[in-house]
Amino acid sequence: MSARDTILASIRRSLGVSGQEAPRRAAVASRLALHPVGLVPARGQRESERRALFRAMVELASGTVEEVARPEDVPGAVASFLRAHNLPLSVRRGSDPRLEALPWERERTLAVATGASDGSDLVAVSHAFGAAAETGTLMLTSGPDNPTTLNFLPDTHIVVVRADEIAGDYETLWQRLRAKYGAGRMPRTVNWITGPSRSADIEQTLILGAHGPRRLHVIVLDG
Amino acid sequence: MTAHVTSPRFKRNAAEALADAQLQQALKFVEVNFAARRREVAERLPEFDALRDSARDIKDHTLRHLDLYLDAFQQRVEAAGGHVHFAVTAEDARRIVLDICRAAGARTVTKGKSMVSEEIGLNDFLAANGINPVETDLGEYLIQIRGEMPSHIIAPAVHLTKEQVEADFRRVHTHLPADRSLVEPSTMLAEARGILRERFLAADVGITGANFLVAETGTSIIVTNEGNGDLTQTLPKVHVVLATIEKLIPTLEDVAQILRVLARSATGQELSVYTTFSTGPRRAGDPDGPEAYHVVILDNGRSAMLGGAFQDMLRCIRCGACMNHCPVYHAVGGHAYGWVYPGPMGAVLTPSLVGVDRAGHLPNASTFCGRCEEVCPVRIPLPRMMRAWREREFERHLSPATVRSGLAVWAFFAKRPRLYGLATAIAAFVLGWAGRRRGRFAWLPLARGWTRDRDFPAPAGSTFQAQWRRARRDHR
C-alpha cells in the first residue's frame, strides 16, 4: 500500500467513512466549485472611504503612499522619491505593459533596467494586480513581465497600483484573479505585501528591512 | 521522531528555567508585548470574534472531509506541474526530502521557518547526509547557530537577550572584524542579512513550511514578516514544501477568513508583511522562480487524532496566542516543555505525537485559568483537552503513586458529602487554631511539596459550606 493510501485509509478509519459517500463528495465538490464568500469586514466596503483607508493601513504597516493624477506622472514621482531618500537614480522593473507604457525617457537622469534581479539592485518598481484596503495590502502576480525577485531582493520597493483596482477586501481580488486566470488556476506566485520587511526576533525590537525591502512606497494612480 | 524529547524531565527543566536570570529577562517581553498588541488590533476589528467562529467552522468542515480535500489538492498540484509526496512517519518525510535534494545535486539548502521541519529533526538528518541546511529566518538562524530548539512557535529565539545574540555572532561570524560594534539589534540584523544573502544566492534547494494548502488551486501558502521564506523558495532551482495533513483549506475565500485572524492573534499585526501563494514551478516565460516544486505531506500520527477526543487540536493554525497568554509559559519559557511545541498547544499536541507516557507532565503544567481558550483564533478547548490527557494518564497508571493515593483519599471523602463536610470542618478548625499566631505555616506534614517554595495560609474561619448555611439561615 502506498503512503498516500495508508494515510487516506487511516483518515477514513478515524472518521468512520469510506470516502465513497455521495453527500460528502457533493459537499466538497460544491465548496470547491462555488467557493462561498464568508464574513467580510465592513471597514473596506464604503467606496468613498476606501482610498483613505488603504493609505491609513499602508502607513500603519510602515509603508508610504503618494497619489498621482496621470500615468505620465509616475516616472517623475519615482525620481523624486529616490532623490528625497538620497538614493541613486537607478531602478529595475519588469516589462509589464502598464510600466512599459510610461514615459520613463522624460526622466533623463533616471536609469531604468528591466528583468529579474540578481540581488545587486537597490530599487525596484512593480505594478500591482490590485490592492485590498482593509489591511493596506498590495497583491502582485508573477509572470513573464513581473519577476518575483523584484519584490524581495532590492532595498527599496516602489509599487504602482491603479486607484480603481484598490478593492475593499481580499475576496474581490480573488474574483478578479479567477476572471483573469480561470477557475482553480493561479500564477506561479501571488504575493500579498503589507508594508516593508521586518523582524522582531531580537528582544522583540521591531526593525525594518530584515531580508526583503526596508522601504515600501506605493504610488496610487488615478483613473 | 528524532528531535530530542526532554518532556519527561519537565519539572527539573522548569526549576532550571525559573533560576535562569537571562531567560527571565528575555521572557519579560512576551507577557507585555504580545498580549497588548493582540488586544489592540482585535478591538479595531468589530468582526474579529465572528471571524474566529468562521475560522473554526472552516477547519472543522475541512477535517471532516480531509481525505477528499487531500485528493483534490494533489490533483491541482499535479495539474500545475508540481509533485506531491505522502509521508506516513517522520522518517519517511526525511527520506523523501533527502532524495529530492540528492536528485538536485544539492550541497546547500536554505530553509524558511518550518515547525514541521523541527518536528522531524530534518536539519540534523540532512547534515548527517552531507547536505548543509541553512536556516534563514533570523530567529531560526539564531537557534541554529546555538544548537537549540525553538522556544516559541512564531518567535523561536524569544528566550534570548541581545547580549546573548551578540556573543553568538562574535563566536560564529569570525570572518568579520572582532572590534566591530554589535550593540544595537539593527546592527545584528544587518550582519545576519548580509551573511544570509550570500547563502540564498548559493543554495540549490529551498525548503519552506506551509501555513496552509489550498485544495481549490493546489497552492501552498507561507506567512512571514522578514521575506526570508520568499527568497528561500524563489532563488533555488527546487522548492520543497514541508506540510502536514491538517494544513488543508478548501478555497481561497476560506483562506481569507483564516488569514484575518492569524496575524492578529499571533503578532498583533493587521496582516503579516508577506503572504505568499505558490502554485507549481515557474511557468513558461517566467524570468525567475524554481524549476521544480514538491509538496511533502506528512501524517506523523495526526490521522489517528481525527474522530477522537483530540480532533479539535488539528484546527490549530500555529499563531502562538495560547503561549503568549499563558502564565506557565511566561514563567518557564518554551524549552522547559522539552520538545518543539511549547505552551498550551504543545501541552495538548505533544502527548498526541510523542506519547502521554513521555509528555504527561505537560498537561499537568497548567493553572487552568482558561486564557488560552479565550484567545485561540479557532476556539480550541485547550483546558478541556489537557484535562482529558490527565484522565488518560491516570487511567494508564502513569501518574506517581503519591498523586494516585492522594486522589484516592480525596475521592473517598468526596463520595461521602457528610463525611467530607465534617472532615474539612475539623481540618479548618485545627489548622486555624494551630496557625492563629502567624496566620500561615512554613511547614506542614504531608505537604512539603507545597511548603518548600511558599507558606501555606492558615484557614481564617469556618468552611465555605458552613458559611453558606449560616448566610442562608440569616437571610431568611
For residue A192, the chain B residue with the least C-alpha distance is: B275
Contacts of B107 (CB under 8 A, 6+ apart): B130, B131, B132, B204
Residue B212 CA to residue B250 CA, distance in Å, equals 10
Residue A223 CA to residue A51 CA, distance in Å, equals 13
Last residue of a domain, one of B254, B278, B303: B303
Select from A182, A111, A179 the least CA-distant residue to B279: A182
Residue B240 bridge partners (DSSP): B207, B294
pLDDT exceeds cutoff 80 at A223: no
Q: Would B199 be classed as within a structural domain?
A: yes
CATH of the domain at B120: 3.40.50.10420
Chain A residues with CB inside 8 Å of B253's CB? 35-38, 171, 174
CB contact under 8 A, A42 and B47: yes
pLDDT 10s digits, A89-118: 999 999 999 999 999 999 999 999 999 999
Q: Would B381 be classed as within a structural domain?
A: no
Contacts of B409 (CB under 8 A, 6+ apart): none
Task: Tell whether B50 lies on the interface with A, counting CB pairs under 8 A.
Answer: yes
* Nearest chain A Cα distance for residue B469, angstroms: 50
Query: For the structural domain made of A46-221, what CATH number should be given?
Result: 3.40.50.10420
Last residue of a domain, one of B288, B303, B318: B303
Residue A90 bridge partners (DSSP): A111
CA A8 to chain centre: 35
Task: Tell whether A142 lies on the interface with B, counting CB pairs under 8 A.
Answer: yes
* Nearest chain A Cα distance for residue B454, angstroms: 31
Q: Would B407 be classed as within a structural domain?
A: no
Task: Tell whether B139 lies on the interface with A, counting CB pairs under 8 A.
Answer: yes
CB contact under 8 A, B283 and A171: no
Residue A181 CA to residue A178 CA, distance in Å, equals 5
Collect the ranges in chain B with pLDDT lower than 50: 1
Here the cell at position B211 is: 501555513
Look at the block and give the residue holding cell 479539535: B312
Task: Tell whether A12 lies on the interface with B, counting CB pairs under 8 A.
Answer: yes
Task: Tell whether A181 lies on the interface with B, counting CB pairs under 8 A.
Answer: no
Q: Would B367 be classed as within a structural domain?
A: no
Q: What is the pLDDT of residue B399?
A: 79
Task: Tell whether A153 lies on the interface with B, counting CB pairs under 8 A.
Answer: yes
Q: What is the 3-state composition of chain A as percent helix, strand, coil, each rounded to the nearest 5? A: 35, 25, 40
Residue B206 is part of which domain span? 7-303
Q: Would B375 be classed as within a structural domain?
A: no
Which of A126, A151, A203, A215 to probe by mutation at the B interface, max B CB count within 10 Å? A203
CB contact under 8 A, A204 and B64: no
Ordered by start, the domain boundaries in chain A are: 46-221
Select from B291, B262, B284, B338 the least CA-distant residue to B55: B262
Instruction: Quote the pTM value.
Output: 0.93
Q: Are B218 and B272 in contact (CB under 8 A)?
A: no
Residue A157 bridge partners (DSSP): A124, A216
Q: Would B2 be classed as within a structural domain?
A: no
Per-residue CA distances from A152 to A114, B136, B199, B260 (Å): 15, 14, 15, 23
Chain B residues with CB inside 8 Å of A199's CB? 138-139, 189, 225-226
pLDDT 10s digits, A141-172: 999 999 999 999 999 999 999 999 999 999 99
Q: Would B324 be classed as within a structural domain?
A: no
Last residue of a domain, one of B303, B337, B357: B303
Here the cell at position B247 is: 494544513
pLDDT 10s digits, B423-438: 988 988 898 888 888 8
**Complex-level ipTM:** 0.98
Per-residue CA distances from B290 to A80, B101, B329 (Å): 35, 14, 39
Please give the tally of structural domains in chain B.
2
Q: Would B459 be classed as within a structural domain?
A: yes
